[in-house]
Chains A and B, each alone.
Chain A
Amino acid sequence: MQEDTNTGRVVGVNGNMITVEFDTQVTQNEVAYALVEEERLKCEVIRVRGRRADLQVFENTAGLKVGNSVEFTDELLSVELGPGLLTRVFDGLQNPLNLLAEKTGFFLKRGVYLPSLDYDKEWEFTPLLKPKQKVMAGDWLGHVPEGIFKHYIMAPFDLRGDWELVSIESAGKFKLADVIAVIRNNKGEKRKITMVQNWPVKNPINAYKEKLLPTEPLITKQRIIDTFFPVAIGGTFCTPGPFGAGKTVLQHALSQYTEADVVIIAACGERAGEVVEILREFPHLEDPRTGRTLIDRSIIICNTSSMPVAAREASVYTAVTLAEYYRQMGLNSLLLADSTSRWAQALREVSGRLEEIPGEEAFPAYLESLIAGFYERAGLVRLNNKEIGSVTIGGAVSPAGGNFEEPVTQATLKVVGSFLGLSRERSDARRFPAIHPLESWSHYSGIVDTAQVDIARKVLRQGNEINQMMKVVGEEGTNISDFITYLKSEFIDYVYLQQNTFDQIDGASDKERQQYVYTKVVSVLETTFDFEDKDKARRYFLELRQVFVDWNYAAMDSDEFKRLEAAIDEKIKESRHA
């Protein structure tokens, strides 16, 4: 009745939060627009008290006045889902940044919103179902080609009850907004289906049969991850670390090399420069799995630190919703969110403006449940048609002062399956990736047998203890066999845990190579060596390390690889205990 007249007036402005007196009704989390001069600023209702609602504004609020009118839309904050999402770069509200740039130039002009998808493009549609067939939420009605994939056109995810297909278009070219099918339920209600659907970002898409236990490792080509702290397909992991410990470089490596079908990169409140590297490089980097470029399997959500804070909060939800959408097509999607701490800070800013009673470090009391809810959107699922799809979530965390005791890190550790803790100590020593081999953990199983991994773990642990002890009693107070254990732990660190991400070969080590090289590393660890004195032992391991590092830089099918392997074997024999 009052749909068209749902308006209000601004009565207060405080930073990016406005208070609005509304005329009729509002819905929590509905989208509204505040009108200032010629501009329409997007906002979201976040609290209602009496006749007044508090709205967070996704734009700079400068110039807003008491008395400015506000239009409510009665729609929750949503994203558009349909073919053509891949390769695109969006802001946190799914505005296409490239198209905005064409329109507004170097700078982001506030109040300019563009459609997320191209509604003029024609897609080659192939139907999969026939009229009279039953339809459930998320069922594949047909498909269009999108880059390397069949992009399935699915029944709306919000369908409830029994529906059947009334009609469906036969194969042909269609635009996104064209009706390609009509469905009807047992009450006789009809619904038209196009190739695009909207979904509220803060609700998980749950049009699947069941969630499964993630077991299979997701190959990241990073040795320390795949061998020591694996991530499962459909699992979750976090990479907390102080600034300068290499979080971003690690995230880049993961976004390039991980064997996922679709990679969604959410640059949430971080440096714009980092996204630019991805934006400019991905179109030129080859994806070894498909032979196409990396951008063909990527979507970039980019709400960098100087962009509006409220949209930063939305950006992680936008990203995970897109990941879920591709999961519904039976694909494995990987979401890399950098950084979830900035998202938490956005929550904190809003909470502060709402004058809520603060929790630890002024973060809101509901921080933990929001973080848990976000990571729980990951998972391996069996779809209604028995296909398997997954969302894997990796979140970077930027703890204040590099202290992992802070609320965001702690809340994250409670819900993730793998913890890749980056350490300042290792990054200062230029040991990259700076994932701490003794403090990190993973609940998932990796590509190497656990018993084998434990051999190296044990040496690393012992080596660390001996190193600590040597700091107290000195090298002369350490016996040679302990000293050799220490050298072995340094050896595995240099030749296996460390990896040069900027080198084409060393930067990405596939499963077979890791298994092969790891066996060789273990053979060194298990060898008993004879040395006259410690200086000889040190020199020997330095030389062995040298050959091994060279080996890591050689392509696996090259002659160089074979030659160096022989040199390593020779070297091992040289000082082996008879």
Chain B
Amino acid sequence: MRKVYHRIIQIAGNVITVEADNVGYNDLAEVSGSRGSSLAQVIRLQDNKVSLQVFAGSRGISTNDQVRFLGHRMQVSTSENLLGRIFNGRGVPRDGRPAVNEDLVETGGPSVNPAKRIIPRNMIRTGIPMIDVFNTLVESQKLPIFSVAGEPYNRLLARIALQAEVDVIVLGGMGLKYDDYLFFRNTLDEQGALAHSVMFVHTAADPTVECLLVPDMALAVAETYALQDKRVLVLLSDMTNFADALKEIAITMEQIPSNRGYPGDLYSQLAARYEKAVDFEGSGSITILAVTTMPGDDVTHPVPDNTGYITEGQFYLKNQRIEPFGSLSRLKQLVNSKTRDDHRIIMDTMIRLYADYRETIEKQSMGFSMSEWDHKLLKYGEKFESDLMDLSVNIPLEEALDRGWQILADCIDPAESGIKTDLIKEFWPKTEEKDTADK
């Protein structure tokens, strides 16, 4: 029988303070009173004063509410029965079916020993040329989609999830619009993917603190499945909401903010989640795809900025396209040598020429006369945008590479491509096609 405390001595923001003994740091407690009950977590101990963040928020908490410490930290079930289920930010079912309480594990477990990690080696095919060709997604990679509000980032996330060959999808929704939650649920359901998915969804209307729990729960479940030899894809949307929730708690706790109000440990907090992406030798893997919305399309905002330093690249979604310049997959070098011999050449050459195309566009918009080369670039850039960059293009990698060569051959001469001579001999599409095209 655990002791119940009745004296709450401070309520500020979503943090309450009680006087209690023998309480472990980060332990959970149940706060209950006439207006309902909520879980809370210990976030500071000072002598006999215990500060707790209340998951459901502090509204309606009275100074004589009961606080009962549970003697354990946040736990989540990792049973097989989770598949096909939907939970809220506290792990309570959202789908009206019974709660799952088997195989509980504590969330936020220790990090993987770097010496036990292995070099990622498997490409994840998505059918999107801007990913497959130019910024290949790799199993066990952690990648955010940087985007401004209004871009179809959740659609992109869902599309990648459905086309990727994985065993389990774990979705962590943070501050999701209710519509977006329904979109994910319906899309996964329609495509028959719900049966191998688990969803933890915190919607925008739910208490803020619950948002903080979502990534840890999603990742704890993913980790357990990965250790059972499953390839798990974790989708997190939107990590900016998670960071904002961190900010809210930090300010309440009177921590000195570092940059735009965010706490100094934002980097470590984000890293603790993203670093859960791993390929377990001899077992499964966790790949993390997250959405990070950028307030004001500003990549130097603390959230995308810190994220960029943690993740292995980013997809930069802008004007309904995956931008070739802001986007990067740091792990692509590990897999794109094994796909097709011309993969890297197409990747490098096309992007370099596209950069030149952008410069030409600038020149053109300023009214300068266009040289012969400029005209070639303009033709090239437009073809690239419509035939490969458009998000509606859905073709396998090999077809995308062939298409890349064709675009090059249609627009420029081999010598202008900057490709090594022997490679041109090997891969450049045969000239008779080009000659007829010219005439």
A contacts, CB < 8 Å to B? 10-15, 19, 60-67, 89, 97-98, 100-101, 104-110, 242-244, 248, 267, 269-273, 275-277, 279-281, 302, 304-307, 309, 339, 342, 345, 348-349, 352, 355, 358, 361-363, 398, 400-403, 428-430, 471-472, 474-476, 494, 502, 534-535, 538-539, 542-543, 545-546, 549-550, 553
29 contacts between A and B (CB under 8 A): A62-B25, A63-B25, A63-B26, A64-B25, A100-B113, A101-B115, A106-B280, A107-B112, A108-B112, A243-B309, A244-B328, A269-B267, A271-B310, A272-B112, A273-B312, A277-B119, A280-B118, A302-B114, A306-B268, A306-B276, A309-B265, A345-B268, A348-B264, A361-B259, A363-B258, A400-B259, A542-B416, A546-B421, A549-B418
A550 and B113 contact, Cβ closer than 8 Å, known pairs A349-B265, A362-B258:
no
Q: Mark B384-422, 1 if CB is under 8 A from A, else 0.
A: 000000000000000000000000000000011010110
Decide: A362 and B309 in contact? CB cutoff 8 A.
no
Q: Mark B290-315, 1 if CB is under 8 A from A, else 0.
A: 00000000011110011011101110
Decide: B368 and A63 in contact? CB cutoff 8 A.
no
**In whole angstroms, what is the CA distance A1 to B387 when docked?**
81
B339 interfacial by beta-carbon distance below 8 Å: no
Decide: A542 and B355 in contact? CB cutoff 8 A.
no
**In whole angstroms, what is the CA distance A475 to B370 when docked?**
9
**In whole angstroms, what is the CA distance A358 to B44 when docked?**
21
Decide: A97 and B27 in contact? CB cutoff 8 A.
no
Decide: B369 and A476 in contact? CB cutoff 8 A.
yes
Residue with the highest number of chain B CB atoms closer than 10 Å, among A64, A276, A306: A306
For chain B, residues 109 to 144, give those with C-beta under 8 angstroms from any C-beta of chain A.
109-120, 140
CB distance from A543 to the nearest CB of B (A): 6
CB distance from A12 to the nearest CB of B (A): 4
B267: which of A345, A403, A430 is its contact (CB, 8 Å)? Answer: A345
For chain B, residues 29 to 85, give those with C-beta under 8 angstroms from any C-beta of chain A.
44-48, 73
Decide: B73 and A12 in contact? CB cutoff 8 A.
no
A475 and B258 contact, Cβ closer than 8 Å, known pairs A272-B275, A273-B120:
no
- Neighbouring A residues of B44 by C-beta, 8 Å: 12-14
Decide: A345 and B264 in contact? CB cutoff 8 A.
yes
B156 interfacial by beta-carbon distance below 8 Å: no
A276 and B114 contact, Cβ closer than 8 Å, known pairs A13-B44, A306-B275:
yes
B373 interfacial by beta-carbon distance below 8 Å: yes
CB distance from B328 to the nearest CB of A (A): 5
B contacts, CB < 8 Å to A? 21-27, 44-48, 73, 108-120, 140, 227, 255-259, 263-265, 267-268, 271-272, 274-276, 280, 299-302, 305-306, 308-310, 312-314, 325-326, 328, 330-331, 333, 348, 351-352, 355, 362-363, 366-369, 371-373, 415-416, 418, 420-421
Residue with the highest number of chain B CB atoms closer than 10 Å, among A244, A471, A475: A244
- Neighbouring B residues of A65 by C-beta, 8 Å: 22-25, 45
- Neighbouring B residues of A342 by C-beta, 8 Å: 267
A402: which of B300, B313, B352 is its contact (CB, 8 Å)? Answer: B300
Q: A271-B310, A542-B415 are in contact. List 20 more A-B contacts (CB 8 A).
A: A61-B26, A65-B24, A65-B45, A97-B115, A273-B117, A273-B330, A280-B119, A305-B268, A306-B268, A306-B271, A345-B265, A349-B264, A362-B259, A363-B258, A401-B305, A428-B355, A430-B348, A472-B366, A538-B371, A545-B418
A106 and B24 contact, Cβ closer than 8 Å, known pairs A277-B119, A546-B418:
no
- Neighbouring B residues of A101 by C-beta, 8 Å: 113, 115-116
**In whole angstroms, what is the CA distance A58 to B86 when docked?**
37
Decide: B45 and A66 in contact? CB cutoff 8 A.
yes
Decide: B265 and A15 in contact? CB cutoff 8 A.
yes
A304 and B114 contact, Cβ closer than 8 Å, known pairs A276-B119, A474-B369:
yes
- Neighbouring B residues of A363 by C-beta, 8 Å: 258
- Neighbouring B residues of A307 by C-beta, 8 Å: 111
- Neighbouring A residues of B27 by C-beta, 8 Å: 63
CB distance from A145 to the nearest CB of B (A): 26
- Neighbouring B residues of A60 by C-beta, 8 Å: 110
CB distance from B111 to the nearest CB of A (A): 4
Decide: A64 and B24 in contact? CB cutoff 8 A.
yes
Per CB-CB distance, the 5 closest pairs between chain A and chain B, nearest first, are: A401-B300, A474-B368, A305-B271, A306-B275, A243-B308
Decide: A400 and B305 in contact? CB cutoff 8 A.
yes
**In whole angstroms, what is the CA distance A399 to B19 when docked?**
42
- Neighbouring B residues of A67 by C-beta, 8 Å: 21-22
- Neighbouring B residues of A349 by C-beta, 8 Å: 264-265, 268
**In whole angstroms, what is the CA distance A548 to B113 when docked?**
45
CB distance from A406 to the nearest CB of B (A): 9
CB distance from B390 to the nearest CB of A (A): 21
Decide: A475 and B369 in contact? CB cutoff 8 A.
yes
Nearest chain B residue, comparing its CB with the CB of A502: B333
Decide: A97 and B114 in contact? CB cutoff 8 A.
yes
Decide: B369 and A538 in contact? CB cutoff 8 A.
no
CB distance from A42 to the nearest CB of B (A): 15
- Neighbouring A residues of B276 by C-beta, 8 Å: 306
Decide: A355 and B120 in contact? CB cutoff 8 A.
no
CB distance from B58 to the nearest CB of A (A): 20
Nearest chain B residue, comparing its CB with the CB of A60: B110
**In whole angstroms, what is the CA distance A550 to B117 when docked?**
37
Nearest chain A residue, comparing its CB with the CB of B281: A106
Decide: A348 and B258 in contact? CB cutoff 8 A.
yes
**In whole angstroms, what is the CA distance A269 to B263 when docked?**
17
- Neighbouring B residues of A104 by C-beta, 8 Å: 113
**In whole angstroms, what is the CA distance A447 to B114 when docked?**
38
- Neighbouring B residues of A543 by C-beta, 8 Å: 415
**In whole angstroms, what is the CA distance A401 to B366 when docked?**
30
Residue with the highest number of chain A CB atoms closer than 10 Å, among B26, B115, B415: B115
- Neighbouring B residues of A305 by C-beta, 8 Å: 267-268, 271-272, 275, 310
Decide: A306 and B272 in contact? CB cutoff 8 A.
yes
Nearest chain B residue, comparing its CB with the CB of A501: B333
Decide: B26 and A272 in contact? CB cutoff 8 A.
no
Nearest chain A residue, comparing its CB with the CB of B141: A273
**In whole angstroms, what is the CA distance A352 to B44 when docked?**
14
Nearest chain A residue, comparing its CB with the CB of B324: A428
- Neighbouring B residues of A345 by C-beta, 8 Å: 264-265, 267-268
Nearest chain A residue, comparing its CB with the CB of B47: A11
A66 and B47 contact, Cβ closer than 8 Å, known pairs A106-B116, A403-B300:
yes
**In whole angstroms, what is the CA distance A244 to B307 when docked?**
12
A63 and B268 contact, Cβ closer than 8 Å, known pairs A107-B110, A280-B118, A358-B256:
no
**In whole angstroms, what is the CA distance A107 to B416 when docked?**
52
Nearest chain B residue, comparing its CB with the CB of A346: B268
CB distance from A276 to the nearest CB of B (A): 4
Nearest chain B residue, comparing its CB with the CB of A247: B309
Decide: A550 and B25 in contact? CB cutoff 8 A.
no
Nearest chain A residue, comparing its CB with the CB of B374: A475
**In whole angstroms, what is the CA distance A4 to B415 when docked?**
79
- Neighbouring A residues of B302 by C-beta, 8 Å: 400
- Neighbouring A residues of B331 by C-beta, 8 Å: 273
- Neighbouring A residues of B368 by C-beta, 8 Å: 474-476
Nearest chain B residue, comparing its CB with the CB of A477: B368
CB distance from B272 to the nearest CB of A (A): 5
- Neighbouring B residues of A62 by C-beta, 8 Å: 24-26, 73, 108
Decide: B46 and A14 in contact? CB cutoff 8 A.
yes
- Neighbouring A residues of B355 by C-beta, 8 Å: 428-430
Decide: B47 and A12 in contact? CB cutoff 8 A.
yes
A429: which of B112, B310, B352, B416 is its contact (CB, 8 Å)? Answer: B352
**In whole angstroms, what is the CA distance A67 to B371 when docked?**
79
Residue with the highest number of chain A CB atoms closer than 10 Å, among B140, B301, B308: B308
A400 and B300 contact, Cβ closer than 8 Å, known pairs A101-B115, A106-B112:
yes
Nearest chain A residue, comparing its CB with the CB of B72: A63
**In whole angstroms, what is the CA distance A330 to B325 when docked?**
46
**In whole angstroms, what is the CA distance A64 to B42 when docked?**
11
Nearest chain A residue, comparing its CB with the CB of B24: A63
- Neighbouring B residues of A66 by C-beta, 8 Å: 21-23, 45, 47-48
Decide: B45 and A471 in contact? CB cutoff 8 A.
no
- Neighbouring B residues of A339 by C-beta, 8 Å: 309
